[in-house]
Amino acid sequence: IIAAAIAGLYVTKRITRPVEQMKEGALQFAKGNLKARLAVPYTRELSQLAVTMNQMAQNLDEKIEAFKNRSMELEAVHASMQEGVIAIDQDEKIITINDAAAKVFDLSAPQLKNRYILEVARNIEFQKFIEKALATHKPFDDNIVITRDNDLILNIHSTALYDSLKNRMGTLIIFYDITRMKKLETMHKDFASNVSHELKTPLTTIKGFVETLQGMSPSNSVKDRENFLKIIEQNVNRMIDLINDLLSLSRLERKEGTNIQFENQDMETLILAAVNTCHTIIDKKNITINLDCPKDLMVMLDPILMEQAIANLLDNAVKYSGKAGQVDITVSKKDEAIEIVIKDQGRGINREHQSRIFNRFYRVDRARSRQQGGTGLGLAIVKHIIQYHNGKIEVKSQRYKGSSFIISIPV
Ligand SMILES: Nc1ncnc2c1ncn2[C@@H]1O[C@H](COP(=O)(O)OP(=O)(O)OP(=O)(O)O)[C@@H](O)[C@H]1O
Ligand SMILES: [Mg+2]
């Protein structure tokens, strides 16, 4: 009996120990440690069970890893998207939101998760869009304006979201920032209407005087005729100037970003050439030009364009100076740039106009500069030429005290 009892105990131990051990291992699996492995016992049935369970754990582990990788990939795509992406549920709560979308609401993505979209997006147009999106199964899109310091224009799309059982679970909203595009569109429209207007004004004058001349009787004085012809000539010249400036601008725009071929150019020669192109108006207004430029200062640039830029600035300096005024042109070599300053003592420019005078057709005093024959394209051309040289231009000016235009070109 004792022998049988000992044998019995031995057999029980042989069975229960491995079962205990397997239970331990299974517990590890249950805790999520799928890298753990069960010890394989000697008994055939138990060893098969252990091998199968290990296999199962390994398969599960691989699947979970693959799933994790995929979700990380998706997360990365989601986060790096330029477009804003928001998924909301039927209760209008945010399920996911990416950084681009969160930025529109001036918050970070984690701050926004699980919050009600309407509480975050305090914008009537946006709220109406969401209500419409949740009420329909069809995708649709719209442009909305988010009003704030710098208004944002968003092109926004919505698509219905369904779960795996095809139940409606919310809506996916994707939006693109089209502010810049819209701005460019407006700029182009304004430009076209400005050009038409600027061309129409002299044409109307020309037409009027041609008709007057045609209707004149032989008794009218020759002097009148000459006067009218002079006005016609002035207006034709104005149109030619305008068209030349427009051509310059479009040529420059096409040039930007292309292969630049600069030449080594002596600065003093270049500036004297620019002064020479303006000599008529300089003499007419009796303006003194003082040039301070180092001898033999060679700079790599496009000489024709740079001469045009300096001539435009000089033309302004003289045009907006009083009679017998003074204009100083100073060229100096800084650390990594050449600086050219054109300084006048003329009427100056109020601060509120200073950032806008480089825009096409912008003139501080429209009526007066039209009288003086300006098109309002001069500084726009200068800006493009300086940009083409990777340089910078700024203006310092005080009303009635004069203006300085400062160009700096990297060397
Ligand atoms: N040196 C200056 N002093 C005062 N105002 C200036 C000066 N330079 C430019 N401005 C102002 O900036 C505006 C834009 O200058 P811009 O050279 O682009 O046009 P414009 O001189 O009117 O015409 P144009 O195209 O014939 O040069 C001018 O109309 C003028 O009001
Ligand atoms: Mg000008």
- The CATH number covering residue 244 comes to 1.10.287.130
Residue 404 Cα to ligand 1 midpoint, Å, equals 12
Last residue of a domain, one of 224, 255, 286: 255
Domain that holds residue 213: 181-255
pLDDT at 373: 67
Identity at 141, one-letter amino acid code: D
pLDDT at 138: 93
Same domain, yes or no: 280 and 403: yes
Distances (CA, A) of 50 to 12, 56, 57, 63, 405: 19, 10, 11, 20, 85
Same domain, yes or no: 281 and 388: yes
Give the position, in ligand 1's atom list, of the atom nearest the Cα of 373. 26
Same domain, yes or no: 63 and 156: no
pLDDT at 42: 78
Same domain, yes or no: 214 and 338: no
Same domain, yes or no: 341 and 358: yes
Ion ligand 2: residue ranges with CB closer than 5 A:
316, 378
DSSP 49-104: HHHHHHHHHHHHHHHHHHHHHHHHHHHHHHHH-SSEEEEEETTSBEEEE-HHHHHH
- Of 327, 357, 358, 377, the residue with max ligand 1 atoms within 8 A of its CB, to mutate for a pocket test, comes to 357
- Of the candidates 306, 303, 393, the residue with the CA atom closest to the CA atom of residue 354: 393
Same domain, yes or no: 277 and 397: yes
pLDDT tens digits for range 43-89: 787 888 888 888 999 999 999 999 999 988 988 888 888 899 999 99
The count of structural domains within the chain is: 4
pLDDT tens digits for range 228-271: 999 999 999 999 999 999 999 999 888 877 777 799 999 999 99
Q: What is the CATH number of the domain that holds 300?
A: 3.30.565.10
Low-confidence ranges of the chain (pLDDT < 70): 368-373
Same domain, yes or no: 91 and 169: yes
- Of the candidates 347, 345, 341, 346, the residue with the CA atom closest to the CA atom of residue 291: 341
Last residue of a domain, one of 11, 46, 77: 77
Last residue of a domain, one of 49, 77, 105: 77
Same domain, yes or no: 116 and 216: no
Same domain, yes or no: 382 and 276: yes
123 lines ligand 1 (CB under 6 A): no
Same domain, yes or no: 402 and 298: yes
Q: What is the CATH number of the domain that holds 151?
A: 3.30.450.20
- Of 356, 363, 370, 396, the residue with max ligand 1 atoms within 8 A of its CB, to mutate for a pocket test, comes to 363
d(CA 69, CA 225): 87
Same domain, yes or no: 139 and 263: no
Same domain, yes or no: 371 and 404: yes
Smallest CA separation from ligand 1 atom 9, residue: 316
- Of 282, 313, 369, the residue with max ligand 1 atoms within 8 A of its CB, to mutate for a pocket test, comes to 369
